[in-house]
Structure 1
């Protein structure tokens, strides 16, 4: 028998807006060159919106009005407790989608035209101190293959300031013999070459030469980082590993793989690196994104002043 969940999913797939969502995502993929993770985020936002609309009795795209967008944003913020950044992203996704419907003649006017983006609070990401980084990178103890893999993954994340998706996408064929640098593929399939420090190089070499061959079937795989069944290590498992190793290192506050990327950039800026170089290393399209880390550096200065100045 069909469950209520299965019936709801069937209604979702049968709704006219569902096929329009598929078409819109195809346009973004082919013409916009959006990466897989970005497309997945767009699909999640649009599916949540459509599921919410089904409960309100939507019949098709032609019935959409401004309130159908605004009320959904209120639902996300107040009903789901979503962060302002998530609400802003959802609005951007909906705007793009309804603009596509207008361009294709499904809507006579754009119901998102007059909606303002929510005012976002300045978001300063969590950054680890150098001492905390040392503790985290040293957390995987032992000589078993899991410790070797986790050690290599953590070292590479911090040494390169890479996104977790970039590191998990690394294939053995992409590695140079000396491991002096890594070629990373970022958003929009843009590639960049990032130097690999001595400690990260040694940890990665140890994993490739001693740890990875212990995993049955891993030799036949392309992915650098694999699971115990030789499958590719996924984002969820990598996030869980970072959180677990952080607790082992005595870091109680919430962190994620992206915390190492933020820490990489912040530590470079704190030690005098110019923003253009940091931008290249991070793979940011705009220098404005990289400028966030000058605010982080300013926070460090203010924290030191408050702590050590007699009138701080």
Structure 2
């Protein structure tokens, strides 16, 4: 194939394909597109602009360069997943005649267990602020809600006010791949959210009005990075001296549900996992905890 590709247009077409055909989340589509852009930049440095001439050796050289830059196996595995999607797209569009990744296996990454907070640490984190201001009540409500529902941080900061049902105590969440799910919450969580809506949110609203439940001090939807900073500051003030992230609260939500006796299928539905195998990793955490208890307390442990 002698056609020369406009890489910029090709990347944009690929991103649109991921968003609207494969219905991947914005962040996933952006990450895949960025990975492909890195690969195309590598090809340009090698003087190769024709994607139909790419073979397995080009892929190996690309991975070798990544290894020399100390890029982890996990990152390389994601890069390969991005390139596989890209070349599947090119084949479907008849822009290439072969897939150079057909016989390349992903590097072994190992399975890292998600980190969760202990129940005591959660209790420390969720202590109500002594001084209630519009911002302190908002921050407290967001952190409480993240643990109470297991939302992804992107789902939390983009959640519309109208998606909170206080009659039936549930959230309607649009998750990855635009898949909708219903997440229940306790009455105490509902009371806290309504307190924020009545006492804090009106003080944060600025024209034009924003539909998101949680607002920044500028009246706009809060960024993920800003919430991460709020969570870190709150954890430090609560005496939690460890690296903490919004995703850790999601992990804590799932882990504590399973420890409490929740069934795996229900936890999968609340987390919005497409594959129950993703949820099963939490059972390993519980298994490890039980082994530790056995070793500590059993007379022949």
> TM-score w.r.t. structure 1 length?
0.87
Using the TM superposition, give the Cα deviation of residue 237 of structure 1 relative to its aligned residue in structure 2, in angstroms.
Answer: 1.1
Q: Which whole-Å deviations, capped at 9, do the CAs of 1:285-309 have from their partners, x for residues lacking one?
A: 2211111111010111122233344
Alpha-carbon contact 1:212-1:218 (below 8 Å) kept: no
Aligned equivalent of 1:231: 220
Superposed counterparts of 1:275-294, under 5 Å: 275-294=264-283
Aligned equivalent of 1:5: none
Aligned equivalent of 1:201: 190
Q: 1:311 and 1:54, CA in 2 relative to 1: closer, same or farther beyond 3 A?
A: farther
Matched, 1:217 2:206: yes
Aligned equivalent of 1:106: 95
Using the TM superposition, give the Cα deviation of residue 247 of structure 1 relative to its aligned residue in structure 2, in angstroms.
Answer: 2.0
Q: Give structure 2 stretches of 5+ with no counterpart.
A: none
Q: 1:272 and 1:226, CA in 2 relative to 1: closer, same or farther beyond 3 A?
A: same
Using the TM superposition, give the Cα deviation of residue 310 of structure 1 relative to its aligned residue in structure 2, in angstroms.
Answer: 5.0
Structure 1 range deviating more: 168-177 or 129-138: 168-177
Aligned equivalent of 1:240: 229
Structure 1 range deviating more: 39-48 or 230-239: 39-48
Aligned equivalent of 1:21: 11
Q: 1:136 and 1:75, CA in 2 relative to 1: closer, same or farther beyond 3 A?
A: farther
Aligned equivalent of 1:120: 109
Aligned equivalent of 1:35: 25
Q: Give structure 1 stretches of 5+ with no counterpart.
A: 1-13
Which residue of 224, 235, 240 corresponds with 1:251?
240
SS in 2 for 1:291: helix
SS in 2 for 1:182: strand
SS in 2 for 1:37: helix
Alpha-carbon contact 2:163-2:173 (below 8 Å) kept: no
Aligned equivalent of 2:52: 62
Distance 2:82 2:129 in 1: 40
Superposed counterparts of 1:156-195, under 5 Å: 156-178=145-167, 180-195=169-184
Runs of 4+ in 1 over 6 A off after TM superposition: none
Count of aligned pairs: 298
Alpha-carbon contact 1:16-1:60 (below 8 Å) kept: no
Alpha-carbon contact 2:14-2:33 (below 8 Å) kept: no
Distance 2:238 2:66 in 1: 35
Aligned equivalent of 1:3: none
Alpha-carbon contact 1:215-1:229 (below 8 Å) kept: yes
Distance 1:130 1:58 in 2: 55
Structure 1 range deviating more: 213-222 or 256-265: 213-222
Alpha-carbon RMSD across the aligned residues, in angstroms, is 2.2
Distance 2:33 2:139 in 1: 31
